[in-house]
Structure 1
Amino acid sequence: MRNFYFNHDGNVDDLVSLLLLLQMPDVNLLGVGVTDADGYVDPASSASRKIIDRFGHADRKPADVAKSNSRAKHQFPDAWRLSVFSFDDFPLLNENGGQIQTPLAEKPGHLDMIDKLQNSAKKVTLVMTGPLTDLARALKVDPTITEKIDKLYWMGGVLGSQGNVAAPGADDTMEWNAYWDAEAVKTVWDSNIEIVMVGLDSTNQVPLTSELRLRWAAQRSYPALDLIGQGYSLVHSFEANSIYYLWDVLTTLSSRYPELIESKRVKTDVITTGFSEGRTFQTDKGREITFVTSVDAAAFYDKIDELAKLAPSK
């Protein structure tokens, strides 16, 4: 069994990622942290606990969910963050009258991360699908946690594509998780953690399409696929030329199924101030990371279905 720790920021893609992590046969999920970023932290924490209750396997589900007290330098737009309230209210997650068995952790996210890493007998794969703030704060409290991290898989940043931040004072060369707290990205980049960056360059290859929605609808006899379909019914991109992508799910599946992706080693850095704050860029003077360049989209979508069908039916 491989030990994992999952830190997410509470939108539909994050919650689907948690659902799929719970189904991976050889993954021992030590804990889950939730940041108040792309989704509001309270309903996101509640939904995470309910997903673990409903779809976790008794011999492998994490003991608790940690709520982060990290705060944004630049918060996500409110309109993007609201879907988690509806997700938390789905009947499928509330069939037991709203009673939740999976507890909240006593410590906030960054301290819970330290505890889970330090208490692991072997190195841990760290998957983060939101800002890197909890990890940056954890490093400042206890720099020795780097010895317990096998790799960090992060959904964030962009190198060759346009960013997705359209905000006053920003030049749209950055990705939102990096823009949320660029200094945290720099702190992690300055560490010796082995980083796998799953940026917009690759996630833009796995869009949420009408055909994909219908594919899940046709398989709704499987409860996990029913939940996935319901979840993504909450997200629609109404802005001109705007598309929703499976950003976080790609990162999560990449951490366990590297055959789905192609990558290369590059040297990168991050800008922490000014109009390009949060921009990740390639430079010979940067630190070396593994950068995911492409994905086998057909195999990726198939893997989602395969894992979802492993979930408990009741």
Structure 2
Amino acid sequence: MRNFYFNHDGNVDDLVSLLLLLQMPEVNLLGVGVTDADGYVEPASSASRKIIDRFGHPDRKPADVAKSNSRAKHQFPDAWRLSAFSFDDFPLLNEHGNQPQTPVAALPGHLDLIEKLQGSAEKVTLVMTGPLTDLARALEIEPTIVEKIDRLYWMGGALGSKGNVAAPGADDTMEWNAYWDAEAVKTVWDSALEIVMVGLDSTDQVPLTDELRLRWAKQRKYPALDLIGQGYSLVHSFEANSIYYLWDVLTTLCSEYPELVESKQVKTDVITTGLSEGRTYETANGREVTFVTSVDAAAFYDKIDELAQAAK
């Protein structure tokens, strides 16, 4: 059994990631932090608590949910963030009432992370599918937590592919989680943490397709797959040539099932100012990270089904 801490930013992909983490037999989830980024923190925290109520392992102590008070340098578009409200209202998560039993943590996200790490007798795997701000703040307050983290799995950045930020004053070379707070990425990059970077280069290999939506629709008899299908019905990419990908789910699954991906060691850095703020790039003078390069997409989609079918 491995101890995990999950920090996410509240959109559909994050909430599905939480649901799947709870089904992994060898994962002991110590805590969950929610950042006010790709989803609004209040409904995203509420939905997280309801997912733990409904799908948490009955023989394990339920993780509490910490609300982050970190704020954006560049905030996600409002239209993307609204899905958290709808997810929180799904009947499957509210059939026993809309007041979740899973508690809200006493401390804000970055301080809860410190507390959970320091309270663990074993090293903790840290999975982050949103901005790195809570971790950066935690490192600045208590640098010794590096010794308590086995490794960080982060969904963020891009090296060989185009970015996904189309915003005034940005040159479209960066990924959104890095753009949200590039200085936080730099703080984490300057630490001694072992980092596994799951960037757009690999997540672009696992798109959300019409065939995948239909695949889940045909499995509605499984409550978790019903919820997953409903969740992804909320997200559609209306920009020209834009596709929704399973960014966060890939990061979450490869943290426990590394056989789903291939990786290599790469030296990288991040730009923190100017038109390319948030861009991650290869450089001989950078810090080394484990960079996920490719995905066995068929095995990845099968693993989602396997975990979700096992949920009670």
Which bracket does the TM-score occupy, shorter chain normalised?
Answer: over 0.9
Check conservation: 1:52, 1:61, Cα contact below 8 A.
Answer: no
Check conservation: 2:122, 2:148, Cα contact below 8 A.
Answer: yes
The residue number in structure 2 matching 1:92 is: 92
Which aligned pairs between 1:222-233 and structure 2 lie closer than 5 A? 222-233=222-233
Equivalents in 2 of 1:277, 1:98: separation in Å? Answer: 40
Equivalents in 2 of 1:59, 1:165: separation in Å? Answer: 42
Equivalents in 2 of 1:279, 1:202: separation in Å? Answer: 16
Equivalents in 2 of 1:239, 1:171: separation in Å? Answer: 17
SS in 2 for 1:309: helix
The residue number in structure 2 matching 1:157 is: 157
The residue number in structure 2 matching 1:48 is: 48
SS in 1 for 2:310: coil
The residue number in structure 1 matching 2:309 is: 309
Give the drift of 1:60: 2.4
Aligned length: 312
SS in 2 for 1:59: coil
Check conservation: 1:2, 1:26, Cα contact below 8 A.
Answer: yes
The residue number in structure 2 matching 1:206 is: 206
Equivalents in 2 of 1:217, 1:116: separation in Å? Answer: 37
Equivalents in 1 of 2:94, 2:199: separation in Å? Answer: 34
Equivalents in 2 of 1:246, 1:16: separation in Å? Answer: 10
User: Could you tell me the percent identity over the aligned residues?
Assistant: 87
The residue number in structure 2 matching 1:62 is: 62
Check conservation: 2:52, 2:63, Cα contact below 8 A.
Answer: no
The residue number in structure 2 matching 1:187 is: 187
Give the drift of 1:61: 4.8
Which aligned pairs between 1:224-303 and structure 2 lie closer than 5 A? 224-303=224-303
The residue number in structure 2 matching 1:104 is: 104
Question: Aligned partner of 1:42: which letter?
Answer: E
Equivalents in 2 of 1:284, 1:63: separation in Å? Answer: 40
Q: What whole-Å deviation, never above 9, does each CA across 1:15-43 have from its counterpart, x for those lacking one? A: 00000000000100000000000000000
Question: Aligned partner of 1:71: which letter?
Answer: R
Equivalents in 2 of 1:274, 1:63: separation in Å? Answer: 39
Which aligned pairs between 1:8-157 and structure 2 lie closer than 5 A? 8-157=8-157
Q: What whole-Å deviation, never above 9, does each CA across 1:157-193 have from its counterpart, x for those lacking one? A: 0000000000000000000000000000000000000
Question: Aligned partner of 2:132: which letter?
Answer: L
Equivalents in 2 of 1:61, 1:285: separation in Å? Answer: 44
Give the drift of 1:62: 3.1
Q: Is the counterpart of residue 173 in structure 1 residue 173 in structure 2?
A: yes
Question: Aligned partner of 2:120: which letter?
Answer: S
Runs of 4+ in 1 over 2 A off after TM superposition: 60-63
SS in 1 for 2:7: strand
Give the drift of 1:59: 1.8
Equivalents in 2 of 1:12, 1:145: separation in Å? Answer: 29
Equivalents in 2 of 1:99, 1:74: separation in Å? Answer: 32
Equivalents in 2 of 1:61, 1:219: separation in Å? Answer: 29
Equivalents in 1 of 2:237, 2:289: separation in Å? Answer: 31
Check conservation: 1:32, 1:62, Cα contact below 8 A.
Answer: no
Equivalents in 2 of 1:180, 1:61: separation in Å? Answer: 33
Gaps of 5+ in 1: none
Equivalents in 2 of 1:33, 1:62: separation in Å? Answer: 14
Equivalents in 1 of 2:86, 2:14: separation in Å? Answer: 14
Q: TM-score, normalised by structure 2?
A: 0.99
Question: Aligned partner of 2:81: which letter?
Answer: R
The CA RMSD over aligned residues, in Å, is 0.5
Q: TM-score, normalised by structure 1?
A: 0.99
Check conservation: 1:128, 1:154, Cα contact below 8 A.
Answer: yes
Check conservation: 2:155, 2:197, Cα contact below 8 A.
Answer: yes
Check conservation: 2:263, 2:294, Cα contact below 8 A.
Answer: yes
Give the drift of 1:310: 1.2
Q: What whole-Å deviation, never above 9, does each CA across 1:30-71 have from its counterpart, x for those lacking one? A: 000000000000000000000000000122253310000000
